Structure 1
């Protein structure tokens, strides 16, 4: 029974930390582009079409409104 006095607060602290970590990741933009890295492995870096797509994506990212 005395172990519960230690384990319950430790569990609450761990849950609070996990929630804080999740919100930090969302606010810092960790989940903004989930498909880009998965699709990027399908293209060669030397492909001129791929280079044009990267340039176009960079331009659209620069024009997108920034989040504070």
Structure 2
């Protein structure tokens, strides 16, 4: 029973920390573009002779 006096406040603090981190990430725009990175992997940018290829080297 005495362990609950320690575990309950620790779990409340852990949940508060997780909520604080989540809202901080949401405020900074972390969840703005959820589809862009998934689509970016499908684009083939490494074609030989692509425009601007010599500028990257």
- The answer to whether TM tops 0.5 is yes
Of structures 1 and 2, the one with the larger relative CO (CA 8 A, separation 6+) is 2
Q: Which runs of 4+ in 1 moved over 6 A?
A: none
User: Structure 2: any 5+ residue segments left out of the alignment?
Assistant: 51-57
TM-score (ref. length: structure 2): 0.78
Say how many residue pairs are matched.
48
TM-score (ref. length: structure 1): 0.66
User: Structure 1: any 5+ residue segments left out of the alignment?
Assistant: 49-68
Q: Please tell me whether Structure 1 or Structure 2 has the larger radius of gyration of its CA atoms.
A: 2
Q: RMSD across aligned C-alpha pairs, in angstroms?
A: 1.3
Distance in 2 separating the partners of 1:2 and 1:30: 40
Whichever structure has more helix as a proportion of its residues is 1
